[in-house]
Structures are given as structure tokens and as C-alpha cells.
Chains A and B, each alone.
Chain A
């Protein structure tokens, strides 16, 4: 067992009454690393999270969480796992402080930690107000505070930023970053690809229970074969003057793969004397759509 790993999942499969929710999924998340768990609705993300939480036992395969197998645990509190479910709606009539204290008591976390989190998440002014008076952002901050009550070594977040404004989302990702620095492994399940793109180390893309792709953003870009776009003012006229660029020109941009990139850049700057250009790498959303469409095509063929 590698002590640097927060999660090691090998060949996980899970069936519900004949339906295959997960099929041979393997991945690893290191401590201090953030993994985006991506996929369409019903792709198997929630099943995978429940398996990591120890709420479901996979039909096949092995899951090691923080160096331990769930089935070998005597007590669940041996593992410091934090979890924020999707669209959780806490108890409306209780105050923010009461809700956090309730979950803290269930995890045997001390009261000073509750006060510390309330202050850290900027909820002191509303701590004695009923939850029904909280905004969506405040509720989500409270939910996040609940997830990190036990100072987790593994944090599982299901759609943590859905419905939040950009400032609130950035606040939560800032907190995730802090936890990463402290060595916490983080798995974020989300559909907001543009938001998470700059906050992850690796991604796992699932579709219909199967792993389509996994790796760092750079690896996913390379494996997908998606090209970097070079755009510049009057690019068409430059391409017309330099026939060697024509082979790369499409959709008002030069489409560059990893091999041709340096060569074309050199050509653009030294031969054409163009310095006012921008390079756009394939975004996570493009990579995701590429793998999804590829999967659809494969299924259509089979």
C-alpha cells in the first residue's frame, strides 16, 4: 500500500439488479491532489462516491481509501473522510451553528472547531439565524464547513459550486486549495467544467459506468489529439503569404498539435514576424465533449 495515495481503486465494477453502474474503473488520487470526476447524469459518479464512502460494496474490484479497505475497518471513524452531497438541504428550522454543532457532535469534533469554522467561512453574523434565512451561497459554505469538520484526509464534494456566483465558487475552490496544501486528497464531482479547470490536478471521465479517460489535463489533451489554436489579427493574409502555414489553417486559426507547435511558432515569429497572436489550448470542456462524442460513435458502431 502506497502511503502517498488517498484513494486507490482497481478494477471496480458494480451492478444493481442486473444494471451495470460501474464497469472496470481504476484510478488513483494522491494526497494533496484534486481529481475532477466528470460524466453525464447516470454515468456512475454517485455510485463511485458511495463506494469511496464505504456505503456500497463494489461487486468486483478493490478500493483502498487512506491506506485501508472499508471492509477491514472496525470503526468508520478510523478514516477522516469529509463529504458534501449534491443539493443537500439541511434542517431549515435550526440555526447554522446548531446544524454544524449537530454534525460535529456526531463526529465527536469539539465545539472550538465549530466556532473556528463558522469564523473561517464568514458565517458568524448569521450563526444564530435559522437556515431558512440563508442564501444559497451561505448554505453551501455551511455544507462545506460540515464536510471539513474532522480535518479530512480525503474530501468528496458532489457539485459543490452549483448555483453559486463566481465569487462564492472561487471562495470554495480557494478553501479546496488550502486543504490540498495540507495534504488532503480531494475528489470533486461537477458539471461546471470551466470553473474547475484551473483547480484540478487530474480528471476521470466516466460514461455509462465506464472510464473513458483519466490523467492530468496535459495528458488528456495529448491523448485526445485535440489541437492548440493559434489566432492573430489578419492571420488569413499571413497564411496566404506563407504557404507552409496553409496546411495548419482551418476555422480562422492555425490548428497545432504537440509535434508541430514549436516549428509553427518559430515560423510565425521568425519568418512572418508576427508577435501579436494568442494560443488557446483545448479546454477541459472540449476534451470532455471529445471523449463523449467518441464514446457515442463507438457505441453506435458496436
Chain B
């Protein structure tokens, strides 16, 4: 029965489509190269080759991933609706006995599974290699840190998949959707962080911890970094602001889930109101 659920059918088709497009391989390879370079060659910048401390490694990995995961997630999802609309299949799908929410959930499930698989493969393989070659690390620490890192990466990817859907549903052309997702990525990943850094440097007296927590919660990329940096003493700049936040890991996870639920509700509302 579950096999024939429209959500599962659509998810399966999205996965098949992404495999044929070689998106899965492409993203997996990018994540893997990035993860392996940061882990095994990151110290080359300092003039020697050695494995970094686990806290420093997670800090470096999350700092680099925060740029690439949102971009990959939105590139997977930006044409989910506008692309199907342009090719006429969205209208056809809507004439079928399935609801718009089922179409949305099917696509979300498919794209989320793709991003989960690529994250698990790339970062999981890095963890396995560290278990084999990183004698200085405790196995349990590697497993716990990387599990958290992979899980938070998946949550971040889902958040940006949903942002990609909203852009896709609001766009009338694929070309405009590409421009819009790049703008969204630019605002969330680059600009917002610069503002946070400016606040830190300005050391404004009225800024209390609650306000800082609020500012972190308002951006999923900062939540992602905070999840992976909290308690760490290697962070500097705006990262120190994140690592010293009093919100707590559970608080950050809850904020991230709230983001996902809110974006899902918005995407569904936009889809329900979209004229054919």
C-alpha cells in the first residue's frame, strides 16, 4: 500500500531523475573532496601535515559545509515546480487524483533522501577513514561528532530545499528562479553572517544574550554552525559568538525544526494559492 502512496511514487521518481541527471554523484563527489581535503590536508595551510584536533576539524568542516550544502540543496530543488510548470507536467500532475500537498511532500522526501545519501556518503566515509587512520582520536568521539555533523547537515539541506521550493513556486521562469536562489544563498550564507560579525565587533552595549540567540535562530546557517560549534573553544570572530551562545544544542535543534516546519507550511500555502 505504501509503495503506491503518491508521496512515495513521486519521491521515487525524483530520486531516479536525480540519479540520471548525475546530481547525486556530482554532489557526493563535491562533498567528499571537500570533507577529505579539510580533514586530511587542512593543516597544510600551516606548513605541516597532521590531523587536527576533533573540535578544530568539526569547526573547519562546518565552516566550509555551510557554504556548499545550502547551494547544493537549492540547486537540486529550484526547478522542482517552475521546471515542471514550464514543461507542462505540473498541470498534468494536478489533473491526477493527488493533492498538492502530496506532490510537495513527495518531492521533499525524494530530494531530502538525495541530500541525506550524499551527506552520509561523503562525511560518513571521512569518519570511517578517520577511524582507520586517526589513531589520536577516540572512536566514540568521532562517531558522535560525525553523527551530529551529518544529522545537522541533513537538517540544513532540508531547510534550503524548502527555500528552493518557495523560490520555485514563486517564479514564473526557470532562469528567474536560478537568480533568486543565488540571491537567497547570498543573503543567508554571506550577508547575514557579516551583519552578525559587525555586531560582535561593534560590541554594542544593548546587545544581550537573548538578542544574540534570536539573531542566530533567525538564520538556519548560523543554527547549523552553532550546533556544530557549541562548547568548542577553537572558534573565533562570529564563530565565537555562536559557540558561546546560551541557547543550548537542543534549543538549536528545535529552532532548526521550527524553520523546517515553517518553511513547509509557507511552501504548501504558496503552492495551494498558485494559479495554473
Contacts and interface: CB of A to CB of B under 8 A. Distances in A.
Interface of A: 16, 50, 53, 55-56, 75-77, 81, 83, 85-91, 93-94, 98, 102-103, 105-108, 130, 146
Interface of B: 4, 6, 9-10, 13, 16-17, 20-21, 87-89, 91-98, 275-276
Contact of A102 (B13, B88, B91): B13
A55 B92 CA distance: 10
Closest 10 A-B residue pairs measured CB to CB?
Answer: A77-B97, A93-B20, A88-B88, A76-B97, A89-B87, A105-B9, A85-B88, A53-B95, A83-B95, A106-B96
Given A55-B95, A88-B88, A103-B92, 10 more contacts: A16-B275, A50-B276, A55-B276, A76-B97, A83-B95, A89-B88, A91-B17, A93-B17, A94-B17, A105-B4
A146 B13 CA distance: 16
A53 B276 CA distance: 12
Nearest to A78: B97
A90 B89 contact: yes
6 contacts: A55-B91, A76-B98, A83-B95, A94-B13, A106-B96, A146-B92
A277 to B, nearest CB: 48
Contact of A88 (B92, B94, B97): B92
A94 B88 contact: no
Chain B residues touching A, majority SS: helix
A75 B9 CA distance: 18
Nearest to B5: A105
A56 B276 contact: yes
B88 A91 contact: no
Contacts of B95: 53, 55, 81, 83
A55 B20 CA distance: 31
A198 to B, nearest CB: 28
A89 B276 contact: no
A219 B24 CA distance: 60
Contacts of A85: 88, 91-92
Contact of B87 (A53, A56, A88, A103): A88
A65 B89 CA distance: 23
A10 B9 CA distance: 37
Contact of B21 (A55, A93, A103, A106): A93
Centre residue among A56, A76, A86, A130 by max chain B CB count within 10 A: A76
A228 to B, nearest CB: 41
Given A86-B88, A108-B4, A94 B20 contact: yes
B160 to A, nearest CB: 23
Nearest to B22: A93
A103 B96 contact: yes
Contacts of B17: 91, 93-94
